[in-house]
Structure 1
Amino acid sequence: MSEPTLAGRIARFARVGANLGGFAASAAVARAGGRAFRDAENARELRRILGELKGPVMKLAQILGNIPDAIPPEFARELSTLQADAPPMGPGFVRRRMAAELGPDWTSHFAEFPLEAAAAASLGQVHRARLHSGETVAVKLQYPDMASAVEADLGQLDLLLALFRRVDRSIDPSEIRDELARRLREELDYAREARHVRLYRAMLEGVAEVRVPVVHDRLSTARLLTMKWLSGRRLLDFRDHPLGVRNRIAEALFTAWYKPFYQLGVIHGDPHLGNYTVAEADGDRAVINLLDFGCVRVFPPAFLEGVNELYRAIEAQDEDRAFHAFGLWGFRGLNRELMRILLVWAKFLYGPLLDDRVRPIDENARPGEYGRATAARVHAELKKTGTVRIPAEFVFMDRAAIGLGGVFIQLGAELNWSRMFRGLIEGFSVAALAARQQAALAAAGLA
């Protein structure tokens, strides 16, 4: 992975800082004139500024918007709509970047390599190329000097969080910030992402409903990742298909995310619509392609014990057991009053998993609003009682739950979520999970 250059970091810091600094100043002026910082107009303006900046800071803001209670609800609603994309590199940039990764004769490795990107995101872009064997591959190429951009934008994230903390001290985001920084730095390392792909291929081996690409190691580096191209259609193309088809797609997605989590403590932390496609779907069977593996979180086995303990505590309406479970999750300094507020959120998430019947994941939510009303209610109660420090483990676990829930709502899926969940946690053992996890990580080169 490339090291950040001082010049690149200063340039990016200046550009992002000028924009966010201008927002802070204008928000302060508006506040002096009687408009609250949390006003919807401020939230829309911040979304506009971040959308124009693009790059890592926009990705960070979009993640923040999808973590319930990380920031004031007015801002969360706006930032969650950001799309983490960037303008693609031109042909000259692509040639230079490919030569830097594979050498001056890089074109010799491909029968065909279009210089136009098939897709562009916040940290890199993807080209659909063809090897001499005839195989179509996805070539993921990192943008120049992204290490500098990430470090500069992490500095600006601190400014953003400080602004929120001035007006809302109900949430201590320090561990959220550190967790985002760790995961974003990891996303720059494409060699690590290749190991994540191998890990997922092993964890989902034999699962016919999910396809994971094969990495071409000789055409991959720390800033270049070449994988088999998995053809498929956008998930939202199936919103008007029969319910049976949509349900099978939802089942495949549930399996892809939660089988690795509940059985090995590994979760894909970025469940947005661009990270999977539908390879095939009919009333009896659906197959999805899992595409991006930059943001993968491995949890300690004790955290999984906490997840299961909290489920059992809510099922039994046992507050003492719930209090213990929150401790296993990593919450510190909780009193019973704060715990009861957090239980409102936990009961929302676990509700469908406790309800042994066919139903939507949320019977009241509209697309794009999954969890928002509950999160706002919890946030309002926390402001009255005290500050909660959100543990690092909570961040991507919650993001995955909300992200997938939103997808299930988009699909209009109706399933027995409880039975699917219980099938995954049946016979849970911390020791068995720890052994499986260690073996899987070692085999993938991640131990």
Structure 2
Amino acid sequence: MSEEQDPERNRLSARIARTAKVGGNLSGAGIAFAANRLFGGAESDENIAKALTSALGKTKGPLMKVAQMLSTIPDFLPAEYAKELSQLQAHAPAMGWPFVKRRMRAELGPDWQAKFSDFGREAAHAASLGQVHRATLPDGREVACKLQYPDMSSAVESDVGQLKNLLGLFRRMDGSIDPREMVDEISDRLREELDYERERKHMQLYRDMLGGKDFVHIPEPVPELSTERLLTMEWVSGEPLGAFEDAPQEVRNGIAKRLYWTWWLPFTHYAVIHGDPHLGNYQVREGGETLNLLDFGCVRIFPPNFVGGVVDLYRAQLADDFDAAYAAYEKWGFKDLNRDLVEVLNIWAKFIYGPLLDDRVRSVADGVAPGEYGRKEAFQVRKLLKEKGPVTIPREFVFMDRAAIGLGAAYLRLRAELNYHQLFEESLEGFSEADVTARQQDALSKAGLSD
């Protein structure tokens, strides 16, 4: 469909309006940033972060989502920035019934209401890119209808440009990390999140990879009632992870183990990860016996050799083999390395891999609060990179790191005590890049993602 036929598709006027709005908000933050750099003092970073948060909080939509995303990557933003950005509210006000009727008519035709026996007028959930309505099909199935807000394609393209400006400013002023490949990666994933047809295929991919597993349930999509901007799927219910923080240790450990396999099995067997570790994307069912995994907009499909690099680095850390670690980072995609940079990267690797290297029952990080997971190590790494760097973070690292941190934070919330080394070794049984390649190709083909 052309832009003339579909005025919502990346309209130039909408992009200009969005750029003006976001740019205006960020320019105010930029002034505060410059003033604090010149006149700032001990609270300089904190003041800059508050200015950025205030600016981004006015934009809503994709850039706010990106800011929240960056706040979960502890090796990227200073603690003051992350603390402020993490407070941005993901829940935008829901669009009203007139919008819902227009969207449903545009996606399913003028007789769309006949396709449902009941359709909730009020949104059950509203977020930065769309909202969800609960409905019932004529055959009695309860479904969730995820509707994308108008002009989101325009908003994404405008906000991607602003993101580059924002992170370019960070690069010039901080100097520890070159974020250019990270920006490209985040931008591509954000564009993919607008394609609900792709998200439907991601759901099918996960149903294929984890089908028959008793530790997780993946909602079933309804293809005949789904489009690029409408995703209809099985309605699922469960309790939040937070509801089990005071459950018996055995229950909490069981939930944590199910989280482990839900995340690691697709990665080590198919080179695929669920890239959004937000705790709201997990629901606990049957008193902790199984999980619901939700929201498949941000799924990262890796080249299988990247998984090989992750495994190589694990084995290098286990053997304390510096040269093997150096080769593993190169396999990951890190460029222009030297011994000093690899020594700095190993600080972060020893933290991330720490629980996997320690063959005993333990917490994922002793004495660390969920919101502080990785902060101490990240600060040390950033400080050293300012002296020895910068380092260019490869694209593939972004969501791997983000998901690992998110998973670790969930383990801390649950106060789980597991033998992570044994779990990881079990997930690597019979591992080979050739097998991962074959499994991935087959799974992507079945899900319609092999193009």
- Scaled by the length of structure 1, the TM-score of the pair is 0.97
Q: Which residue of 1 aligns with 2:307?
A: 304
Q: Which residue of 2 aligns with 1:197?
A: 203
User: Which of 348, 371, 374 pairs up with 1:371?
Assistant: 374
Deviations 1:340-377 (A, max 9, x none): 00000000000101111111111121121111111111
1:419 aligns with 2:422: yes
How far 1:37 moved relative to its partner?
A: 8.7
1:346 aligns with 2:349: yes
1:134 aligns with 2:140: yes
Give the AA of the match of 1:254.
Y
Give the AA of the match of 1:416.
N
Name the SS for the 2:213 alignment partner.
Answer: coil
Give the AA of the match of 2:27.
G
How far 1:36 moved relative to its partner?
A: 7.0
Q: Which residue of 1 aligns with 2:213?
A: 207
**Aligned equivalents of 1:389 and 1:251: distance in 2?**
33
Q: Which residue of 2 aligns with 1:428?
A: 431
**Aligned equivalents of 1:258 and 1:52: distance in 2?**
37
How far 1:241 moved relative to its partner?
A: 1.2
**Aligned equivalents of 1:129 and 1:37: distance in 2?**
50
User: Which of 264, 274, 277 pairs up with 2:280?
Assistant: 274
Q: Which residue of 2 aligns with 1:80?
A: 86
Moved more, 41-50 or 229-238: 41-50
Give the paired residue count: 444
Moved more, 392-401 or 54-63: 54-63
Is the CA contact (8 Å cut-off) linking 2:28 and 2:51 kept in structure 1?
no
**Aligned equivalents of 1:3 and 1:35: distance in 2?**
46
Q: CA RMSD in A?
A: 1.4
How far 1:208 moved relative to its partner?
A: 0.4
Query: Aligned runs of 1:202-351 on 2, under 5 Å?
Result: 202-282=208-288, 286-351=289-354
Give the AA of the match of 1:394.
F
**Aligned equivalents of 1:345 and 1:310: distance in 2?**
12
Q: CA 1:277–1:117 in structure 2 vs 1: closer, same or farther (change >3 Å)?
A: same
Sequence identity (%):
57
Give the AA of the match of 2:48.
N
Give the AA of the match of 2:405.
I
**Aligned equivalents of 1:434 and 1:318: distance in 2?**
27
**Aligned equivalents of 2:43 and 2:272: distance in 1?**
38
Moved more, 355-364 or 325-334: 355-364
Q: Which ranges in structure 2 are unaligned for 5 or more consecutive residues?
A: 2-7
Q: Which residue of 2 aligns with 1:124?
A: 130
Deviations 1:200-223 (A, max 9, x none): 000001210100011111110000
1:176 aligns with 2:199: no
1:15 aligns with 2:25: no
Moved more, 195-204 or 35-44: 35-44
How far 1:38 moved relative to its partner?
A: 5.1
1:406 aligns with 2:400: no
Q: Which ranges in structure 1 are unaligned for 5 or more consecutive residues?
A: none
Give the AA of the match of 2:209.
M
Name the SS for the 1:281 alignment partner.
Answer: helix
Q: Which residue of 2 aligns with 1:63?
A: 69
How far 1:77 moved relative to its partner?
A: 3.2
Is the CA contact (8 Å cut-off) linking 1:55 and 1:85 kept in structure 2?
no
